[in-house]
Structure 1
């Protein structure tokens, strides 16, 4: 059994409770590359007694999908191994200031932020973050203003925005990203669709625009 755990490369949909996962348990999966899981932190848990799952110890992990439930995490609790290439997060309800931990991941190529992972009206991206990101998906977030420069996503190829019903527009400077191939907008405000159409009017070679409207979103 121990040999099987050591050789395991993919694990789907276990449920971990913060504080119950020990370093010894983590080291039982030294070759894990793909993990989809649920993490629960009880509301009455203290930060000291129930730390967040130590994903940074999985040094070969490349794909990680977490649905989180429970007590809101504090700064410093959320950490990932530098090996991560694909990251999908749901339900964390974190302030946008916490996203710097993700932005600094050197090998991250795909990032999907879903279902209230980050909350707050404004996200301002920073220089030297997301240097290798190729695909970004924002799904069901309450963001209103997204301040971004094309310099901040210099290798982005695909942008997907879905059901961000309060977002006012896609930053027009996104159009300056030379690697960008696809922008998809699904069920967002008309002003978001209009901003994407303004990008489309730039007639950028190789860039494809897909818009799926929702009549219920003004």
Structure 2
């Protein structure tokens, strides 16, 4: 949907294949009752635009340097996400050529409002240390990282991810994950896909009392073995409820 009139945006939700919004918005363009905007392409998220969508709680942004309206400065405006105080669900997809532009960690710092409950990042070029910013979000329950984190070593910090129940990591080059159960105290579902260098899942992850499932697709044999060890250890302690799934083909990741 390329040519959606601004005057048509009078309902609370807009879901479309693609939507392009002009900048600056017209003076009468205020969507106080607007709650959902999905697949907005190359949106210049300026302070002025954020003022016009103050009550948005679900947002899906796509930045693609092969589509209409792209320029490198668009990504610099992402820090304004922090002003959307009612935003609960954010999906950010960046499709850019590495030698031309990228969504780097500096541009994402302090970008997220504390109201966020769901966050999905695709191709965002973070470092594992940058997850401290995300982990400090007090309401965050769902985190999905798709080809978004560089670096081979991850050591989470105690006191973060206090409410995280769902963690999905897809396609990163993570090799050494030095984690403990205290890093994700209420995690229920751990989903790993295309982690072709991961040596193992930290055994202490099995000590998370709320953990229900570990699902793996296309990961290393050593990582799969560690998942089996976690299950066996939990069974020896009387915990029969942990489910471990492994597959080389089935796509188990969804976003709603």
State the TM-score bracket (shorter-chain normalisation). 0.7 to 0.9
Contact 2:42 2:74 in 1 (8 A): no
Unpaired segments of 5 or more residues in structure 1?
none
Unpaired segments of 5 or more residues in structure 2?
1-6, 8-27, 250-256
The change in CA–CA distance for 1:44 and 1:8 in structure 2 (over 3 A counts) is closer
Task: Give the structure 2 partner of residue 208 of structure 1.
Answer: 243
For these two proteins, the number of residue pairs brought into alignment is 209
CA deviations 1:63-84 (Å, max 9, x no partner) are 1000124334243643200000
Contact 2:105 2:125 in 1 (8 A): no
C-alpha distance in structure 1 between counterparts of 2:246 and 2:215, whole Å: 6
C-alpha distance in structure 2 between counterparts of 1:189 and 1:84, whole Å: 32
Task: Give the structure 1 partner of residue 228 of structure 2.
Answer: 197
Relative contact order (C-alpha < 8 Å, sep 6+): which is higher?
1
1:183 equivalent to 2:214? Answer: yes
C-alpha distance in structure 1 between counterparts of 2:57 and 2:33, whole Å: 10
Contact 2:154 2:176 in 1 (8 A): yes
Contact 1:184 1:210 in 2 (8 A): yes
C-alpha distance in structure 2 between counterparts of 1:86 and 1:45, whole Å: 26
Structure with the higher fraction of residues in strand conformation: 1
SS in structure 2 of the partner of residue 143 of structure 1: coil
Contact 2:45 2:81 in 1 (8 A): no
1:71 equivalent to 2:102? Answer: yes
Contact 1:51 1:77 in 2 (8 A): no
Contact 1:89 1:113 in 2 (8 A): yes
CA deviations 1:159-209 (Å, max 9, x no partner) are 000111111111100000000011101111110110001011121231111
SS in structure 1 of the partner of residue 55 of structure 2: coil
Task: Give the structure 1 partner of residue 59 of structure 2.
Answer: 35
CA deviations 1:90-147 (Å, max 9, x no partner) are 10112111111100000000000002x1111111110111000000000111111111
TM-score (norm 2): 0.75
1:107-126 equivalence runs, <5 A: 107-115=139-147, 117-126=148-157
SS in structure 1 of the partner of residue 78 of structure 2: coil
Larger Rg: 2
Which of 41, 56, 60 does residue 86 from structure 2 map onto? Answer: 60
Contact 1:156 1:179 in 2 (8 A): yes
Task: Give the structure 1 partner of residue 180 of structure 2.
Answer: 149
C-alpha distance in structure 2 between counterparts of 1:45 and 1:37, whole Å: 15
Deviation at 1:56, TM superposition (A): 0.7
C-alpha distance in structure 2 between counterparts of 1:181 and 1:107, whole Å: 21
